[in-house]
Amino acid sequence: MKIHSPAHPGEVIREMCLAPLGLSVTEAAKGLGVSRKALSELVNGHAGVSPEMAIRLEKTGWSDAGTWLRMQLQYDLWQAEKRVGKIKVTKFGVRAAT
């Protein structure tokens, strides 16, 4: 497990994309072609970056879609790893080749 929690992509969008440009969520949502609610949920960590949103972010010039999706995956995996002790599975043996 990693030592520190990766930032939620919404936090990165808020701090590294919107704030330096003085953009409000409303203005940025309009420019991205999404609802204010959708962007607000993302920047407040209540929603994740979807592939479509990643493309929209890329088209603004804010990094590439793959970077946004990897960032979301790292965040999601970190969250799941925190619950690893609660995840119960049955181990299956390896079948011999026939």
Tens of pLDDT, residues 17-40: 999 999 999 999 999 999 999 999
Reported pTM: 0.86
Identify whether the C-beta of residue 9 lies closer than 8 Å to the C-beta of residue 68.
yes
Q: How far, in Å, are 53, 77, 84, 85 from residue 89 at the CA level?
A: 33, 17, 11, 11
Residue % of the chain over a pLDDT of 90? 89
Indicate the CATH number for domain 9-83: 1.10.260.40
- Whether residue 60 is predicted with pLDDT greater than 60 in this model: the reply is yes
62 three-class SS: coil
Residue with tokens 């999601």: 76
pLDDT reported for residue 50: 98
Over the chain, what is the mean pLDDT?
94
Identity at 2, one-letter amino acid code: K
Domain coordinates of the chain in residue numbers?
9-83
1 three-class SS: coil
Q: How confident is the model at residue 2 (pLDDT cuts 50, 70, 90)?
A: low
Tokens of 63: 């990094």
